[in-house]
Chains A and B, each alone.
Chain A
Amino acid sequence: MIQLLVFLPLVAALIAGLGNRMLGDIAAKAVTTLALFVSAALAWVVFVSTGLGHGAAYTLPVLDWIDSGDLHIAWAFKVDALTSVMLVVITSVSALVHLYSWGYMAEDPDQPRFFAYLSLFTFAMLMLVTADNLVQMFFGWEGVGLASYLLIGFWYYKPSANAAAIKAFVVNRVGDFGFSLGIFGTFLVFHTVKLDTILGNAHAMQGATFHFLGAPVDVMTCLCLLLFVGAMGKSAQLGLHTWLPDAMEGPTPVSALIHAATMVTAGVFMVCRLSPMFETSAAALTVVTYVGAATALFAATVACVQTDIKRVIAYSTCSQLGYMFFAAGSGAYGAAMFHLFTHAFFKALLFLGAGAVIHSMHHEQDMRFYGGLRKNLPLTFAAMTIGTLSLTGFFFTSGYYSKDAILEAACARGTEAGYVAFVVGAFVAFLTSFYSWRLAFLTFFGAPRWAGSEHIQHAAHGDDSPEADAAHPGGTEGTNDAVGQEHDHAPVQAQAPTGTGGYHPHESPWTMLLPLGVLSVGALFAGFVFHGVFLGPDADTFWRGSAFVHRDLAEAMERVPAWVVWTPGVAFFLGLFLAAQNYLRDLEAPQRFTEGFRGLYTFLVHKWYFDELYGLLFVRGAFAFGRLFWATDRNVIDRFGPDGVTAVVGESAVLAKRFQSGYLYTYALMMLVGVAAAATWFVPRMFQ
């Protein structure tokens, strides 16, 4: 069954991708979508039997892979509770995104390719989470990277999309650099890459040392940190996060599936999967906690000033991943996985909702040109509101349960890192509430400001015919960001002319609304239904060793003071209030703020200057060194090498001419000298 679950998406991807135009749009879409729904159904069966039903974990070998010396790697599926959670998340969201794309991509001329990529991605992601060894996990890891690269650059005629795709791949490779070294080190220490063996023996290696780069270091700390670099890349943690916002160049369903619900959570999954390893190194856990907290804070601050609807949600994702990491760093792997689980629902919902808005607004993504959409898009509005409530942790929504658990765990952990994470997390909860409600208010409330949008002007002037859309599939989604940056120094509302511009947004088709509905149910109730399973007193019996469970941490979480429990709620209301004050009541307030704090505002708008710094250091640096070395090839190596030899030979030819006197005796003499020299060398050796 697990084989069918994993391979169906691959088969579907191959059929749709290779069949492509021969097959036609409908067939390609039907094959992939159907395959995904079957996979999703199977995944729930696995989840119920293996996860909820406490079925036995098992490993199913498929094929030998690499066998070299004492290294044995097989293609195999490992199914346990942790895997089953991921299976459900991946296949459910993927199936819904496939369905959603029927509507969203309806006007695109290249649909089979799109659906093939989506299914290929799903396959790679499934391979990642079912891996029974680190190398197969790396296969899935790189596979999702490839699919992500292809999907971000799906509209390959857009330079911005191509740039974003390469950036995503290369930045992820920096993470993979660490991941690879981690795998090599793990093999050196444990003589295997099989997860069961590594995790079983991790404890015995606690405190062992080896030489890394000449310095004696703690083995487990070193390995965990190397592997964590991989997790940072994939999960867009501070330092290696720069690719994620740019990845919004891809079509919105991609953002929902890959860059919100599944792929970016792979790092969190990895840390949880390897939790017995991380538990052997307090130093590594501390680093994980600080990195997670720093990312949560960084991304949330940047999200507050973004004007592109997708980018706000992208930074929000980045920030929420930070939560998951500091939960894991605090030893609350269950809470991290639970937040991963609920986040998949509400963040996919938000992205798909944003997609519906973008779809309705003729590919306008800038929130400054939205406003008042709740009347035109009531269903989308309802779905987005549910998503926002859940993200901001409103009582009894999914996000409420998972975020509360994370903050309580950080506080209950009792370490310095834990307290820092708690304080940062609480402040970020406030920021989250602020930017989320800012998004909701800018989009759905107030007066329409559509007239200022070029996309809307095009549409209103009669270019709205299907032909025009087909000629420009995907419109210029994402490209207006560059323009947006230019305008960012001006306040949000004041510059956009108000009015509808004669445009009438319409609600999206049912293929798009149905996934929104399903995800809304998840965003509302998944936390309520499952929090007992993931986090409750019986969490041990659910995870059964697939993720490390701290009994004492769970007990400490029960005993945290009441004000800790209430903190997220307070943060929620503060954020909501501030957003309402600025974006519903006093519309001039944001402008006053940006003028008052110009330095801070510029810093945030430039996303803490990471892109500028990296661009200067790494991109331009690499090209400069490349040119320098290339010049070295020609001006140094060739000059003193072959070209130099040529010149010398030319010179000595002149010299040699003197010996070529033409007189026979000169030649005879030279020959004699030569023969004598050769004989002197050879003869004694031949008769030794």
Chain B
Amino acid sequence: MTFPILLVIVLLPLVAALWVLLAPGSDDARAANARITALVVTLIELALGIALWLAFDTSTAAFQFVERVDLFAPFLSWHLGIDGIALLLIVLSTFLMPFCILASWTSIQKRVPEYMAAFLLMETLMIGVFAAQDLFLFYLFFEGGLIPMYLIIGIWGGARRIYASYKFFLYTLLGSVLMLLAMIWMASTAHTTDIPTLLTYNFAPEAQTWLWLAFFASFAVKMPMWPVHTWLPDAHVEAPTAGSVILAGVLLKMGGYGFVRFSLPMFPDASVELVWLVAVLSVVAVIYTSLVALVQTDMKKLIAYSSIAHMAFVTAGLFVFNTQGLEGSIVMMLSHGLVSGALFLCVGVIYDRHHTREIAAYGGLANNMPRYALFFLLFTMASVGLPATSGFVAEFLVLLGTFAASTWLALGMTTGIIFGAAYMLYLYRRVIFGTQDRADVLAMTDLNARELVTLLPIAAAVLWMGIYPTSFLKPLRAPVANILARLHHAAAPVQTVVPAGKAVVK
């Protein structure tokens, strides 16, 4: 038997969480233990994630590192396995976690063991979502993720944390109920909850529509798509920095992952049939949320709204049914995970010093925090989609894909590159540029070593993904081709070019 790497990577944080909670000692000792355990474990997780990546065979679309224990077969078995898409999302999750722990190192002083345990539990559930190969196992991880995040916002959050966590819970749960019903129906119809089997199962087209809509209810909330997005700004604003990083970095990706894993390959006919819905909501989201981002006065809210706009690129790209759109969407998930995570860390840096997220309270930071200004600029540009950053590769591929499907969609989505530049540069100007008279802001110190260590690797990853994205595109090829093959018979819309001399046919 080979080393059960997925089992370890999923369960190790859970074990660590228990140890952190149960460890004896004084409050200070327990806090110190929690911090160090969490950091060490998340670093081991990162190492395991990288090991997965290195050992991964990119030439096949089949699920790898498969582990299977039939618990209550045919319904619910412990079945793990990953393809290239899951691999990259797992690597993203393990990559962001150590920075979350570091970002909380000094800013969290209340109930540290519980906090670290919540994060470790979160890591187990996140990786579980991406590795699960059983429908109900997936559901358990997917919904379980709500609980630690609910706690993180509700206990360590800001002033309106109760309202925010409640809103977060209500929205996401509502969608989940519908998804659960759909899953039960699927299990009873197909007589299995095995995801690889379901991926090749052909549901009747009429049933697909209902199933698709039920899953859509859950994933659209998780993304979030307009108009079920209003939980996100509140959740971000109230969440502690690391909570925002995980929320934006990984939790939002679960919706996109769900579309890729379930909606597209399992309900191909419904996906094609309902493509208009996704397209319209995506375009509305880009324009609507970008404009809302422009008028925000709270930094986190601004970045939260920008996240919604970026997620609209993901949904638009997923539903154009071509390689560029699909691969671009997944790269967008990775890129947004890094960039928005880094932007929230950047907000955290100055929040820790000045204890406000109000944009107007800052300004002129280029003077006393030049290194910070540089990092913030890099992530701003990545968010705007400047070539040679990860954001560009993602945006470019998605938009290229949309053009091949519909010029209207391409036109609507591409306005995002104008709006994006406007709200991000306006933010950057108000925080970094200008003059500053207030002594307390002027006295803010530049990035310390701990903060540099958190931002530098993300910056490197953003540039890597921007300059040589092949490393990230390679694992995607086979699974994306597989999904497209499922969609192939479902006649997706495409633009056609009519050579000269022939009549234009509609």
What residues of chain A have their CB less than 8 Å away from a CB belonging to chain B? Answer: 20, 63-71, 75, 135, 138-139, 142-143, 146, 149, 153, 156-157, 159, 162, 165-166, 169-170, 173-174, 176-177, 180-181, 183-185, 187-189, 205-214, 216, 219, 622-623, 625-627, 629-630, 633-634, 637-638, 641-642, 645-646, 682, 685-686, 688
Contact partner of B370 (CB less than 8 A), chosen from A20, A149, A626, is A20
Interface membership of B491, Cβ < 8 A: no
Interface membership of B94, Cβ < 8 A: no
A642 touches B366 (CB 8 A): no
Interface membership of B32, Cβ < 8 A: no
Chain A residues lying within 8 Å of B393, measured Cβ to Cβ, are 66
Chain B residues lying within 8 Å of A688, measured Cβ to Cβ, are 188
Knowing A64-B470, A622-B291, A626-B292 touch, does A170 contact B396 (C-beta < 8 A)? no
Size bracket of the B interface: 35 or more
Provide 10 A-B residue pairs closer than 8 Å at the C-beta atoms, listed in order of the A residue.
A65-B469, A68-B328, A69-B324, A142-B392, A157-B435, A169-B421, A174-B418, A180-B396, A205-B497, A626-B293
Knowing A138-B387, A188-B404, A623-B295 touch, does A629 contact B288 (C-beta < 8 A)? yes
Knowing A210-B497, A629-B291 touch, does A139 contact B388 (C-beta < 8 A)? yes
B429 touches A162 (CB 8 A): yes
Knowing A69-B327, A188-B403, A626-B292 touch, does A170 contact B230 (C-beta < 8 A)? no
Residue of B227, B407, B408 with highest tally of chain A CB at under 10 A: B407
Chain A residues lying within 8 Å of B231, measured Cβ to Cβ, are 642
Knowing A142-B386, A188-B403 touch, does A173 contact B188 (C-beta < 8 A)? no
Chain A residues lying within 8 Å of B504, measured Cβ to Cβ, are 209, 216
Residue of B188, B288, B291, B327 with highest tally of chain A CB at under 10 A: B291
Q: Which residue of B lies closest to A139 (CB)?
A: B387
CA of A313 to CA of B366, assembled, Å: 31
Q: How far is the CB of B445 from chain A (nearest CB, A)?
A: 16
B467 touches A633 (CB 8 A): no
Stretch at the interface among B83-91, B241-249, B409-417, B450-458: B409-417
Q: Which residue of A lies closest to B419 (CB)?
A: A622
Chain A residues lying within 8 Å of B501, measured Cβ to Cβ, are 207
Q: Which residue of B lies closest to A643 (CB)?
A: B167
Interface membership of B495, Cβ < 8 A: yes
Q: Which residue of B lies closest to A184 (CB)?
A: B403
Q: Which residue of B lies closest to A71 (CB)?
A: B324
Chain B residues lying within 8 Å of A183, measured Cβ to Cβ, are 400
B417 touches A176 (CB 8 A): yes
B400 touches A71 (CB 8 A): yes
Q: Which residue of A lies closest to B430 (CB)?
A: A162
Q: How far is the CB of A642 from chain B (nearest CB, A)?
A: 5
CA of A20 to CA of B233, assembled, Å: 38
A213 touches B407 (CB 8 A): yes
Residue-wise, chain B 214-246 has the 8 Å CB interface mask toward A (1 for contact) of 000000000000011011010000000000000
CA of A233 to CA of B498, assembled, Å: 30
Q: Besides A64-B468, A66-B397, A209-B497, 19 other CB < 8 A contacts?
A: A20-B370, A68-B328, A68-B397, A71-B400, A146-B381, A157-B364, A170-B422, A170-B425, A177-B417, A185-B403, A187-B400, A187-B403, A188-B497, A208-B497, A208-B499, A623-B294, A630-B295, A641-B227, A642-B167
Q: Which residue of A lies closest to B415 (CB)?
A: A177
Interface membership of B433, Cβ < 8 A: yes
CA of A688 to CA of B467, assembled, Å: 56
Chain A residues lying within 8 Å of B467, measured Cβ to Cβ, are 63, 65, 75
CA of A633 to CA of B227, assembled, Å: 8
CA of A645 to CA of B166, assembled, Å: 12
Knowing A180-B414, A210-B496 touch, does A162 contact B230 (C-beta < 8 A)? no
Chain B residues lying within 8 Å of A638, measured Cβ to Cβ, are 230
Interface membership of B23, Cβ < 8 A: no
Chain A residues lying within 8 Å of B323, measured Cβ to Cβ, are 68-71
B400 touches A641 (CB 8 A): no
CA of A505 to CA of B392, assembled, Å: 49
Which 8 interchain pairs have the tightest Cβ spacing?
A207-B500, A69-B323, A184-B403, A139-B387, A626-B295, A626-B291, A156-B433, A216-B504
Chain B residues lying within 8 Å of A143, measured Cβ to Cβ, are 386-388
A212 touches B407 (CB 8 A): yes
A-facing residues in B378-404 (Cβ within 8 Å): 381, 386-388, 392-393, 396-397, 399-400, 402-404
Residue-wise, chain B 136-156 has the 8 Å CB interface mask toward A (1 for contact) of 000000000000000000000
Interface membership of B432, Cβ < 8 A: yes
Chain B residues lying within 8 Å of A75, measured Cβ to Cβ, are 467
A180 touches B417 (CB 8 A): yes
Knowing A176-B417, A207-B500, A623-B295 touch, does A641 contact B230 (C-beta < 8 A)? yes
